[in-house]
Amino acid sequence: MRLIFLVFLVTVTTVCVAYDIECKWKNNITDIEDVAHHKYQVLEECLFYKLTNEADRMQGKSNSLMLLPPTVAAGETLEVQILDGSIREMWMNEIFKEMNINGFLKVSWKDRRLRWNPDEWKTENLKIKSLGRLWVPDINSDKHQTVAQSVDYVTFNDLQSNSNGNVTASLEFRMHAQCDIDYTEYPNDKKHCCFTLQSSLYKRYIKYFIEHEGGSDMLDMSSIRTNWHVDKSNSWILKGTQEGDNHAEKIEICLAVNRKSSTLALELTLPVLISALILLIAPFFGKFNQQIYVKMFALLLQFMSFQFLAEKTPQIGFGNTVPKIYVFYAFTIGMTVLSLIATVMISAMSRVKRKVPPAHRYTLLASVLNANLCCGSEEEPTTDGTSKDASSDWLQIHSALNNIASIFLILIYIIGAITIAF
């Protein structure tokens, strides 16, 4: 009987010690660094239990620390400070023009219910081990209450408070958004996408404050894994107002990215650049027929290049935007057609036999031009000397006309290509 009583006494003592909600042994602690890890966790549990009881008494409701916001007076607002942010992953769905991001925001707010005397409890910080144990601001994606909520995901992690009631947390998110796309520089197109975080239950109660004015230096993207180049000058975190309610605030995260695809750019531009080079040097091939064949080959190469470009076009097209590379292709093909037509027409006129010679000043001018332009030239026709034939003089004039037309079109092409590029 005595043995049973001793076992009962030891059991009761052990239970009482285990449920020492005041953690009276903390009074014997001189340095918190000397406390074992498991005992420090017990100390945190005691502190949290004490704060929970005091919050219930203050707000007149059980589990108030979990269910109710920290403010008591009517008209009070909760100030949530955005300390910094980071984007860890980003990927694009180009068919639907959507961007998806994973990242987090470091946020802070004040909860007066989480105050304690650090001299009594020997610690300045308290980790909240479970999200459900503490009320947190209602911050979600703007699509939280739509069918897209299965895609967007927002949650609080790493909750902790100091003895003054300042709560910090990591607001982790996974969101997607429609993007404004500028295809002008395709294939180095630009995309600008904005993601919104806002409250749906406490719209006017929660007020946001950005740590750095402007918000452009708050996004850390050094660890981002993506094949897109992020334009930090056009990426930011800003505070705005919710649509339809100017008194309700929201947080807007905007990213501007450029495609990084040098191989695709080389694939699309190299063929047409080669064909453009052939067009430029075509007048130096000599006779009319040779120039015509060279320009026809350049035109064939350009059509093949344009077909390859069309195959690389996004499935949904470019909308109202016409990329510069398409303008360059069309301009190159147009100039090649004009140059080919000019050479064909001048060649046809040169084959007409004329017995009336041109004015002598025109013949001299044509000779000077043909001698200095260094472009195409034709062999003088052979005659039997029995009849008067002015074909050689006219051939000089037609050759000069072709040279002038070629030089003129080359200048127009170079100026136009520079204008399109810049």
Which whole-number Å values give the CA distances from 5 to 1, 11, 12, in the listed order? 6, 10, 11
Question: Which letter does DSSP use for residue 225 in this model?
Answer: B
Would you state the pLDDT for residue 214?
A: 63
Is-contact 299 271, C-beta < 8 A? no
Own/partner contacts of 37-42, CB < 8 Å, gap of 24 or more, are: 40/123
Q: Given the DSSP bridges, would you call strands 206-210 and 78-93 parallel, antiparallel or unpaired? A: parallel
- Closest by CA to 86, choosing from 238, 221, 177, 194, is 221
Would you state the pLDDT for residue 337?
A: 93
Q: What is the 3-state secondary structure (H, E, C) of 270-298?
A: HHHHHHHHHHHHHHHHCCHHHHHHHHHHH
**Torsion sign across C-alpha atoms 21, 22, 27, 31:** positive
Which residue stretches of the chain have pLDDT < 50? 1-19, 148, 383, 385-387
Look at residue 415 and give its three-state secondary structure. Answer: helix
Q: Given the DSSP bridges, would you call strands 140-141 and 190-198 parallel, antiparallel or unpaired? A: antiparallel
Would you state the pLDDT for residue 275?
A: 84
335 phi/psi in degrees, rounded to 5: -70, -35
Would you state the pLDDT for residue 171?
A: 93
- Closest by CA to 417, choosing from 312, 276, 323, is 276
Point out which residues pair with 78 in neighbouring strands.
Answer: 206
Contacts of 235 (CB under 8 A, 6+ apart): 216, 219, 221, 254, 255, 256
Q: What tens digit of pLDDT does each residue of 58-116 get?
A: 888 888 888 888 886 777 889 999 988 888 888 888 777 888 889 999 999 999 999 99
Return d(Cα 166, Cα 168) in angstroms, integer: 7
Cβ atoms within 10 A of the Cβ of 366, count? 22
pTM (2 d.p.):
0.71
What residue ranges define each of the domains in the chain, with the CATH number in brackets? 1-64 (no CATH), 69-260 (2.70.170.10), 263-421 (no CATH)
CA atoms within 13 A on the CB side of 30: 0
Would you state the pLDDT for residue 164?
A: 92
